[in-house]
Structure 1
Amino acid sequence: MINILENINDVLWGTPSLILLVGTGLFLTLILKGLQFKRLGYAFKVAFTKDKEDDGTEGDVSNFKALMTSLAGMVGNGNIAGVATAVTLGGPGAIFWMWIVGLVGMATKYAEALLAMKYRVKNEDGEYSSGPMYYIERGIGKKWKPLAVAFAFFGAFAALGIGNSVQSNTIADVMENSFSINGLTTGIILVIFTSLIIFGGLQRISSVASVFVPIMALLYIGASLLIIGLNYDKIIPAFELIFTYAFNPVSAVGGFSGVVVSEAIRNGVSKGIFSNEAGLGTVALIAGNAKTSHPVKQALVAMTGTFIVTIIVCTMTGMVLLVTGFWDTTGGLLSGVSHDASLEAGALTSAAFGSTLGNIGEYVVSISVVFFGFSTILGWYVYGIKCFEYLFGLKYVSIYRTIYIGATFIGTIAQLTTVWAFADMANALMMIPNLIGLLLLYKVVASETNDYFSNFYKQSTKNIG
């Protein structure tokens, strides 16, 4: 079974899919005339500044809380172990390609959130529901509903796997290895805290995320900056490695086996997508709940999440690995470091932090893994419940909630090799319907964007300073 699933995933996540993902981002970047670069400063203002125009508008949570809930799902262990894997398998140049996929992915996220707002619906409880399934069915037409159903089905399944049990499994491993707390105890604690939060609905989840996400991100970024600062003499050489080996093969050196440029590109692109979820459609599942006066405003807010996750958080991990030399097992390309070559990706990041900050550094990574993983569980619950609601209606969401809590516990005590493989497959099968929807609705994205910047932008800039 594992071999079959891995073969399927090799196809689903192969070069054609990565080209489709990046190609969609490039296409939308051209259609939007590089909006993610020209309007990034304004987007951050909209995200973090109150706009009186949004007072009294329909929605369930503020722009900021929608962003934090989305970040809760994105800021996960892909930002730690995923980056380490990209660098150790693809070399320093993989970081450059992560940046590229993050920058073009901002246009993809923008389009997803805009369409989510445009085609959102109000459910029986008076709460908004949105996502690729709604903009596929309502935007393209009802004959495309099978594609919408496919997205929702695989989204609900992926939430149980990559968004939940896989995260709780990683948390349990860290709790046992770093704090000698067994999986059963971790499972019980996670179930209690997860239940207390998700039974409070979107309002409680978004409120927790709006406090939880900034604190955990600042802890990790702060520790990363401290390490980078203490190794200041290696900052410029590290950037030289990134730009040199983005376009040139890395020769075998020290404990590094050497890679060709295609490996740097493939690992950078795939791990970049894993960390920021651009193209998977997940941001659209929460964006439609935002209180905002125009779809473009929430779209701008959503794209800042990709910038934060990939350009800031992932870069921190990559730079720590480079300046400490822990990407290359004997420090062959950055002199002055030497260490064990047998470390796996997550442990490698922990060891890199520990090499400069001692035990405190290793604990920072361990705590970050726990909190990043828990935030992902909360964020993906929102994604999963929205997908399940689309498939079966509100009447049965309690069933999914129970299953979700059960998956949280199972993840802490079970081996999840098969679940990992199924979850990877489900992620890819979410991506395909979503990208089709984005490409077929690009004219709507362009039209709404032109409408906003022609008729509302000037007044909005006055309102938010």
Structure 2
Amino acid sequence: MLDFLNDLLWGKVLLVLLVAVGIGFTIASRFVQFRYFGRMFRILGAGEAFKRDKHGHLSSFQALVLSVAGRVGGGNIAGVAVAITLGGPGAIFWMWLVGLMGMATSFLECTLAQTFKQAEGDGSYRGGPAYYIVKGLGKGWGWLAGFYSVLLLITFGFAFTALQSYSVATSFGDAFGVPVLYSGIALAIVVGLIIFGGIKRIARISEVLVPVMAVGYLLITVIIVGMNIDRVPEMFVLIVKSAFGLEPAVGGGIGAAIMMGLKRGLFSNEAGLGSAPNVAAVAYVPHPANQGIVQAFSVFIDTVIICSATAFLILLSDAYIPGASGNVEGIALTQAALADHVGEWGRTFVSLALLLFAFSTILYNYYLGENSLHFFSRDNQKLFNGFRIAIVLLVCWGATTDLGTVFGFADVTMGMLAVVNLIALILLFKPGLRILKDFDDQFRKGIKRPVFDVRQHPELDLDAKAWELEPEDMERLQDLPDSSPARSS
């Protein structure tokens, strides 16, 4: 039954919905992910992003690394290898394409999450699909928002937390011979120390951990590419040819290349699943579109950069032979490829990379679960502390348990989660485009940092406190030439 539901959801329904929303909003927004691609870097720079300050706000960069922590995981290492094995090198081309379209989907869902966010008393915010469903579509859709929150809690808060713990413990055991129970206990202790500090402590840890793990993985890739620079043109030719069925002996032909590329891209970057918007909503920014643009960049980081790094490591090695039936699959192929380039220590490096990727994802999954509980009960600290204790125990249990059935169940609930979110995105296309138009109009008038005025959108029933700027930030905006802030604190 689980296999049937997974095939139905991921093989048919979601592939159609995800691709349709991605392409649809790309066209409707006039290719927003390309128009503002350069601005992604400026928003994150010191002159564009509000930094962490005395008011307790989280910056745009912190929200970005939190979402990257969730998007970048085992799928970037093992999943890409599976896509190449089953779909051939051409799967990478289609993975790139769906990643570029997914940037538009992520812009839409994360802009909506910012628009409908709610202010907390400590300078932070809450938001996500449950919030933009009930506030954007009306209270009559509260049941759908509640259903989404339950699915989010089950899928990410519980199931995927246990699965990531299992991945970390088994990988560490294989690489260093450490018993999974000891790894599980150690991991549970570290996770507990972090999550009891709340979203701000998670953000501070991710702010350091995510860049280190991503840069380290990319650095080894750059070195490998440099060592094999003469084979790079040949690699790109192979990717393009097999993507269009011009290499019949590679993988399963053009159909398999397209299917595996689409699935890998969609599964890896999570655009459309509704998970990243929960994190995107925490940022303190002057306009919702700012964080939409930044979160589109996180899809680019995940799919076009990190996934490509794994693909290059594999395709430039002798561990993978196009069209051969004896290729190893999954994490073993990535380990074998790096070992082929640098020696046996490459296997250990891949295991350590997987450890860091999975650990950061556990922190991300915890926050998603906490945010789903917050939708039902805003101030019940006993409930939140109970959930934190449950997560610590779950991390320890997950490390020592075979979770095959849990994984199959979580795939189904994640598929249902995506269906709910995509339906909401389709219904909220117009508000999303309206917020983008507000940003575009200000930008065209020469306003260097567009600001959001809730008074201009009374029909959206927004939380005005969530869009109050601190006095010093108002002064900074007013000092910028050609800038005319339209809201007040």
Aligned with 2:270 (options 274, 277, 300) = 277
Aligned to 2:279: 286
1:395-452 deviation digits (Å, cap 9, x = unpaired): 1222222222222111110000011101111111110111111111111111111111
- Is the Cα–Cα contact under 8 Å of residues 58 and 124 in structure 2 kept in the other structure? no
TM alignment of 1:171-190, pairs within 5 A: 171-190=168-187
Structure 2 counterpart of 1:401, which letter?
R
Structure 1 length as normaliser, TM-score?
Answer: 0.92
CA contact (8 A) 1:187 1:409 kept: yes
Aligned residues: 450
* Residue number among 126, 129, 138 corresponding to 1:129 in the alignment: 126
Matches within 5 A, 1:87-236: 87-123=84-120, 127-161=124-158, 163-236=160-233
CA RMSD of aligned residues (A): 2.3
CA distance in 1, matches of 2:76, 2:431: 32
Distance in 2 (alpha carbons) for counterparts of 1:454 and 1:212: 37
Does structure 1 residue 460 correspond to structure 2 residue 448?
yes
Q: Which amino acid aligns with 1:419?
A: V
2:302 equivalent among 309, 319, 325: 309
Alignment partner, residue 254 of structure 2: 261
Residues 228 and 235 of structure 1 are in contact (CA less than 8 Å); yes or no, is this contact kept in structure 2? yes
Q: Is the 8 A contact 2:157 2:367 kept in 1?
A: no
- In the TM superposition, residue 341 of structure 1 has moved relative to its aligned partner by 2.9
Quote the offset at 1:388 in angstroms: 1.8
Q: 2: distance between equivalents of 1:20 and 1:304?
A: 21
Matched to 1:362, the amino acid is R
Contact 1:58 1:292 in 2 (8 A): no
Is contact 2:52-2:58 (8 Å) kept? Answer: no
- The offset of 1:250, in angstroms, is 4.5
Give the TM-score taking structure 2 as reference length: 0.87
Name the aligned partner's letter for residue 278 of structure 1.
Answer: A
Residue 52 to residue 98, structure 1, CA distance change in 2 (3 Å)? closer
What's the offset of the Cα at 1:274?
1.4
Distance 1:173 1:53 in 2: 40
Conserved 8 A contact 2:158-2:369: no
Amino acid at match of 1:86: A
Give the Cα–Cα distance (whole angstroms) in 2 for the partners of residues 158 and 351 of structure 1. 32
Do the aligned partners of 1:117 and 1:287 also contact (CA within 8 Å) in 2?
yes
Tell me the CA shift for residue 372 of structure 1. Answer: 0.3
Deviations 1:293-343 (A, max 9, x none): 111111111111000111100001111111114343xx569xxxxxx9363
| 2:5 alignment counterpart | 8
Paired residues of 2:60 and 2:294 also in contact (CA < 8 A):
yes
Residues 23-32 or 12-21, more deviating: 12-21
Match of 2:80 among 54, 79, 83: 83
Percentage of matched positions with identical amino acids: 37
Q: Is the 8 A contact 1:223 1:364 kept in 2?
A: no
1:379 aligns with 2:367: no
Q: Does structure 2 conserve the Cα–Cα contact (< 8 Å) formed by 1:161 and 1:423?
A: no
Partner-residue secondary structure (3-state), 1:326 = coil
Residue deviations 1:249-297, cap 9 Å, x none? 65346xxxx4121211111111111111000011110111101111111
CA–CA distance in structure 1, aligned partners of residues 205 and 356 of structure 2: 12
Q: Distance in 1 between matches of 2:261 and 2:272?
A: 16
Q: Deviations over 1:351-399 (max 9, x none)?
A: 1001011123222211100000000001111111101221344412222
- Structure 1 residue 45: deviation in Å? 1.5
Q: 2:316 aligns with which of 309, 318, 323?
A: 323
5+ unaligned residues in a row in structure 1: which ranges? 334-339
CA contact (8 A) 1:164 1:380 kept: yes
**8 Å contact kept, 1:59–1:290:** no
Deviating above 6 A after TM superposition, structure 1's stretches of 4 or more consecutive aligned residues are: 52-59
Farther-moved stretch of structure 1 (182-191 vs 452-461): 452-461
Q: Deviations over 1:42-98 (max 9, x none)?
A: 112202434377798987300000101111111111100011111111111110111
Matched, 1:19 2:6: no
Distance 1:191 1:125, change over 3 A: same
- 1:136/1:147 contact within 8 Å kept: yes
Cα separation, 2, equivalents of 1:48 and 1:385: 30
The aligned runs of 1:22-101 (5 Å cut-off) are: 22-51=19-48, 60-101=57-98
